[in-house]
Structure formats: C-alpha cells, structure tokens
C-alpha cells in the first residue's frame, strides 16, 4: 500500500520541488499530495511570531483536517539592512499585491544601501506533523545579497533579486537558475533534505 504525505501548500512549484527531492532520494512507496489533491478546507491564519510557529500552524491544521501526515513550509527573506525584515511578512510585504510589488518595495527601501551592506538570507522552516502527534521542525538558510534590479524570470518571490554567495551559482540570481540548479542550493532544499529520513520512514511504515 502506498503511503501518503500532504504538502500543505497550494504552490505548484513547491510541490514539484518536494516531489523531485523524493524521487531523487529514491524513496518509493510514498505519494506526495498537494492541497489540490484533498478536499478543500479554510487555510489557517498564519499569526505566529516566527517561521517555526507559522509552519507548525499550517502542518497541524492539515493533519486535523485530513488525517494525513502533513508537511508545511514557511519561508521568506531576511535583509540585513532591514534588521531581518521582511522575514515572516515576506509574502505580504507590499500589502498582498504580489511578487512584483514586493520586489519593487524592497528595492525602494534599500535603494541607498551600498553593495557591501546588501546582505540577505532566504530562510525556510519545514514542519512535518504526523497523526500521532509527532512533530519534526527543521530550518534551512541560503546566504547572498540583494541586487539593484530584478534579473531572471525563474523561481518565484524574491528570487530575481537574490544573488547567492554560492560560487556554483556563477554570479546568477536565484531567478536566473534552472529549477534543478536551485534545488541543489536553496534554503528549502536544505530544510527538506533534513526531512528525507522521516519521509522514507513513512514509506516503509
């Protein structure tokens, strides 16, 4: 019998990334579902004070609503010159106007900040909650800096503004990397990689 795990997200790119990682880890017998694969339910209010709290809010609610082992990610960008903001407010930084507006607002807020002080990091916290109440929370970070204009049309969110420190990125922003290249470097990949043993255990339970 195939085990199932629910990614409590409607983001198709996040779902595809997790499925690629499960396949790449040769985990068989595990079906990764998204919110579009289960009966719709009202998404909870993400009113936590940290990425960890918000990830747990989403994962716990998904388990309560579906009875399935559930994984939730809360992520965002923390800009040094803004004292770690937008942080947990990243997706709503422009008041819910979308990625382009968020990027424009961020660029405007640090327009006068010199290159050496434009450091930033992407943060991803993933929470895996099981129906028996077991909870596993992991964190991944990806250091880089904010460039002065958007570059690239790949990824989503702040990717076109984020220039990774990783030499393997070749001086390209996250928005200029292919999905496979980003998989190997990103904050979410670093967090999800820590959960692969727990996901493999679900497949063999």
Catalytic positions, written as ranges: 74
According to DSSP, the residues that pair with 119 across neighbouring strands are: 145
159 carries a ligand binding annotation: yes
186 carries a ligand binding annotation: no
158 carries a ligand binding annotation: yes
Chain-centre distance of CA 37, in angstroms?
Answer: 20
74 carries a ligand binding annotation: yes
172 carries a ligand binding annotation: no
SS (H, E, C) 169-197: HCCCCHHHCCHHHHHCCCHHHHHHHHHHH
How many whole angstroms separate alpha carbon 115 and alpha carbon 81? 11
183 carries a ligand binding annotation: no
156 carries a ligand binding annotation: yes
How many whole angstroms separate alpha carbon 89 and alpha carbon 91? 6
């Amino acid at each position: 019998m195939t085990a199932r795990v629910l990614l409590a997200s409607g983001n198709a790119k996040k779902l595809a990334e997790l499925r690629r990682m499960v396949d790449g880890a040769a985990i068989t017998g595990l079906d990764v579902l998204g919110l579009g694969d289960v009966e719709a339910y009202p998404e909870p209010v993400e009113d936590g004070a940290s990425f960890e709290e918000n990830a747990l809010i989403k994962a716990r609610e998904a388990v309560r609503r579906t009875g399935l082992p559930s994984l939730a990610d809360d992520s965002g960008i923390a800009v040094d010159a803004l004292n770690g903001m937008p942080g947990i407010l990243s997706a709503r930084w422009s008041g819910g106007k979308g990625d382009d507006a968020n990027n424009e607002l961020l660029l405007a807020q640090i327009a006068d900040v010199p290159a050496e002080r434009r450091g930033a990091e992407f943060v991803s916290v993933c929470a895996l909650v099981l129906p028996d109440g077991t909870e596993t929370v992991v964190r991944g970070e990806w250091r880089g800096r904010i460039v002065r204009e958007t570059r690239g049309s790949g990824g989503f969110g702040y990717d076109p503004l984020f220039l990774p420190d990783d030499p393997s990125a070749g001086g390209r922003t996250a928005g200029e990397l292919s999905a496979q290249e980003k998989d190997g470097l990103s904050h979410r990949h670093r967090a999800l990689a820590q959960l692969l043993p727990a996901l493999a255990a679900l497949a063999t339970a």
